[in-house]
Structures are given as structure tokens and as C-alpha cells.
Amino acid sequence: MQPIVRLENVTKNYRGVPAVKNVTFELRKGEIRALLGENGAGKSTLTEIIAGVVDATSGKMFHKGQEIAYASPHAALEAGIAMVFQETSLVPSMTVAQNLYLGTEKFLNRLRGTYISAQQFLQSLNFPVDPNAMVATLGAAKRQMVEIARAVHHNAEIIIFDEPTATLT
């Protein structure tokens, strides 16, 4: 089976200092992978490369056999790769429903309908979060639930979690 994502000899330098050096890594459908290492080992940097947050200094990345380089996290999301960040990337001044649909056509075209579909979607995940609640009013655990729900909602083939429980402790 062909990998969904493959990195070949990927390196990322910050001011000449390697954060990730010559990493080759594959993700296949149905796999659950964990990256383990000390602080500063490059785990977050590697996941950020896959999710389009940062560019690799050198090396290649392939998505379903095609060489790619995502220009942004949105481009990666459009390709089916979502990331749940250690610190949430939600907009606190918006509602849960608005955050779920942010960046989608549905958000732009039909704001009212987003609340109903967001409520149904959150219920299907058994997430006890009110879609009308402002994100700023949610505790850390519920914000993380919304962040995860957003990744699942986009039907991502790959969901990357960067220390998703760090904000809960």
C-alpha cells in the first residue's frame, strides 16, 4: 500500500541550526503513529512541515505519490491533512460553530445554517459543546474538543496532534 504522506531526507534549519535533520518518514492509511523524543528534538517542527505551517529547508515531501510543498495549513487541509495544535488555533471572538466552518464556503454563504449542522455534528461526536457558545468562554478541555472536531469535520485523511493534552495540565 502506497503511503499517504512520505518525507524523504527532510531537514529544517533555523538560522543555520538544524531542528530536523535528514528525516525519512511515512504515514499510511489506518496507521496511528507517535513521535517520541526530548524537548527540542524536532517533533513539532516535523509535524508542522507535514501540515504546511513551515517549509523544509531541504528534502522532499510526497502526498499520495505526488511531490508537494504546502504553502499554508489551509492548503494542507484542502489536501486532507489537518493539525490539532498544542495551543489552539481557534478564534476566541467567534462562536464554536463559526470556528468549525471558518475558511469553508459554507461559512461564507450560509452562516445561519452552520449552527444547526454544527450542533448535529458535535452531537455525533458526543462532544458536549454548545455551537452558539463564544470560544472565549470555553475552558481548555472544551476548546481542545472544538479543535479536534474541526479537524474531523474537514474529513482529513491525516490528523496530526501536537501535544494535544499540554494545555489541559
Boundary (domain end) residue, out of 39, 62, 79: 79
pLDDT tens digits, one per residue of 53-83: 999 999 999 999 999 988 888 899 889 999 9
Structural domain total, the chain: 2
Are 91 and 167 within one domain? yes
Are 18 and 48 within one domain? yes
Q: What is the mean pLDDT of the chain?
A: 88
**Cα radius of gyration (the chain):** 17
Instruction: Please say if the pLDDT value at position 15 is more than 90.
Output: yes
What is the span of the domain harbouring residue 123?
80-169
Q: Whole-model pTM?
A: 0.83
Are 88 and 156 within one domain? yes
Task: Give the residue, 22 or 86, on which the prediction is more confident.
Answer: 22
pLDDT of the residue at 63: 94
pLDDT of the residue at 73: 87
